[in-house]
Amino acid sequence: MDSIDLVLGELPMPPYVTAEDVGFAVKAVTVHAAEQWPDGPRCRNDRAPHPCRLHRWGRRVLDRRGLSERQVRALIAEQEAPRR
């Protein structure tokens, strides 16, 4: 964990995970993906050690919604697909 994580802690979960929360979670996981750096994987958005707070929050939301890893990958691929 990064020192900021120790100070701020985890992001709170929504009381009920809605479809809108899933959309936010997919965006968080997509934007805060890992990039390899000489000192290990880091968030490509904020350079915090990966997984950063927002990536962890997104994964927890998707897990609570009951999505399988395959479903999560499909949502991420849809999010990353170029818009027409």
Domain ranges of the chain: 3-80
Look at the block and give the residue holding tokens 């999560």: 72
76 close to 29: Cβ distance less than 8 angstroms? yes
11 close to 55: Cβ distance less than 8 angstroms? no
Alpha helix positions (H), 1-84:
3-8, 19-31, 53-64, 69-80
How confident is the model at residue 63, as a pLDDT?
Answer: 96
Residue 13, CA atoms < 13 Å, CB-side half-sphere:
13
pLDDT by residue, tens only, the chain of 84 residues: 566 777 888 999 999 999 999 999 999 999 999 999 999 999 999 899 999 999 999 999 999 999 999 999 999 998 888 766
